[in-house]
């Protein structure tokens, strides 16, 4: 039987061999990143992937693995670990393999019906919380809510009285509702809606959205891991601008006086997106950068 140490070394080598030379390793939302020069570098990604998967099999904290490095896996544990590694070798994201992902310190269920929440989206949540606290904003709409990570995080951390989370995808809304129950967030109303279509008559102090924004032209350059994620939540027509234009054209009708709109950006399109919102009458437009120095959030009123 293999020891924990040998199992990790074997898994790390298997994962590394599956990723072509020179390709950037996939960022798992549970993993921390560090800035080196001008690149966003994922430290020891293959090792971290293996550690997350093995810690799940052994039901121990990843940080405790060094303490049990000479312990041996049971045949059942080794069989399960090999199954996990076989899936990761095919470039399936760790979060889908484990069925969960950490976001804003909370645990979320994820499957291939929803996008895996990204670390940069935490910046979007943090900015909403800052605005809500500073200007006493009490109602928020999470448009295109997916897993519900944004809405649930705002419910748990913020002081909102009313939260609405909407999505066109029934399967995504099912996961979002499960995540709300899992994290005991009780003040969220979930609505199946194609953008604003079924939100008529409602208005909010803040609208926040991480809409689909990858263009068909960008498809070929995607990392293999992204092909596991739901295309309905990734891709946008009109060169990636479709949903940005839709939000810019309609959001003001659903914002209260002095309301705020915050959306996650495709950093490759940020200047053009800013122009779209300017043309549609939004003011005080700011573009905020993520940890990699890329344009990531548009904030306006």
286 plus 180 within the same structural domain: yes
**Quick check: 14 pLDDT over 60?**
yes
Residue that is last in its domain, among 54, 79, 98: 98
pLDDT tens digits, residue range 197-233?
A: 999 999 999 999 999 999 888 877 888 899 999 999 9
Residue 47: give the domain boundaries.
4-98
The confidence band for 26, taking pLDDT boundaries of 50, 70 and 90, is very low
For residue 289, is pLDDT > 60?
yes
Q: Which of 40-54, 112-126, 266-280 has the least mean pLDDT?
A: 40-54
Can you give the pLDDT at residue 20?
54
* pLDDT on residue 44: 73
Q: What percent of the chain has pLDDT over 90?
A: 83
Can you tell me the distance from the alpha carbon of 46 to that of 148, in angstroms, rounded to the nearest whole number?
28
Task: State mean pLDDT over 10-20.
Answer: 86
CATH number at residue 61: 1.10.8.10
Number of domain units in the chain: 2
- If asked whether residues 39 and 117 sit together in one domain, one would say no
Structure-block tokens of residue 139: 């109602």
């Amino acid at each position: 039987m293999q020891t924990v140490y040998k199992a990790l070394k074997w898994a790390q080598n298997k994962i590394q061999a599956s990723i072509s030379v020179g390709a950037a390793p996939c960022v798992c939302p549970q993993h921390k990143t560090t800035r080196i020069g001008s690149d966003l570098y994922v430290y020891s990604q293959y090792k971290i992937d293996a550690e997350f998967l093995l810690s799940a099999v052994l039901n121990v904290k990843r940080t405790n693995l060094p303490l049990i490095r000479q312990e041996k896996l049971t045949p059942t544990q080794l069989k399960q670990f090999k199954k996990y590694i076989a899936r990761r070798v095919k470039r399936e994201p760790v979060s889908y393999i484990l069925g969960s992902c950490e976001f804003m310190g909370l645990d979320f269920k994820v499957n291939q019906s929803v996008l895996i929440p990204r670390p940069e989206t935490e910046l979007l949540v943090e900015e909403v919380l800052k605005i809500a606290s500073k200007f006493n904003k009490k109602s928020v709409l999470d448009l295109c809510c997916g897993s519900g990570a944004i809405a649930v995080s705002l419910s748990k951390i913020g002081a909102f009285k009313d939260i609405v989370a909407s999505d066109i995808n029934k399967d995504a809304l099912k996961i979002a509702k499960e995540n709300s129950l899992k994290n005991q967030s009780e003040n969220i109303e979930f609505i199946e809606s194609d953008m604003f279509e079924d939100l008529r008559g409602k208005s909010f102090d803040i609208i926040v959205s991480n809409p689909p924004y990858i263009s068909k032209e960008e498809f070929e350059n995607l990392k293999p891991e992204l092909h596991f994620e739901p295309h309905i939540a990734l891709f946008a027509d009109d060169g990636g601008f479709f949903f940005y234009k839709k939000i810019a054209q309609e959001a003001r009708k659903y914002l209260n006086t002095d309301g705020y709109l915050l959306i996650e950006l495709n950093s490759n399109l940020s200047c053009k997106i800013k122009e779209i919102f300017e043309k549609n009458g939004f003011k005080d437009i700011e573009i905020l950068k993520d940890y990699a120095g890329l344009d990531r959030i548009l904030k306006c009123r």
